Amino acid sequence: MNSVKQLWDAILSRDPAFIQKTYKNLDERERAAIMNHLRKITTETGWHLEQKRSAQTAVDAIRELDMEVK
């Protein structure tokens, strides 16, 4: 990824295939940081509903990807 903004635009795109492709290209440390932040967005107050929806779509896409690997 060229920038943090591009990374988050991809992760929050609501396009499961794009989310999964982006996530696959991250290292383990980056993946953990992304998932931690997505969990915060989906569970904490103060986030806009659309942000929560985008984050939940990303979590679901990543979980699906993880299920395919196992």
pLDDT of residue 1 exceeding 60: no
Average pLDDT over residues 5-18: 97
The reported pLDDT for the residue numbered 2 is: 62
Structure tokens at 47: 């986030």
- Cβ proximity of 62 and 18 under 8 Å: no
Whole domain around residue 65: which residue ranges?
A: 4-69
pTM listed for this prediction? 0.90
Q: Collect all residues with Cβ–Cβ distance below 8 Å to 51 and sequence separation of at least 6.
A: 12, 41
Angle at alpha carbon of residue 38, lines to 48 and 32, rounded to 5° = 160
Q: In total, how many domains does the chain have? A: 1
The reported pLDDT for the residue numbered 18 is: 97
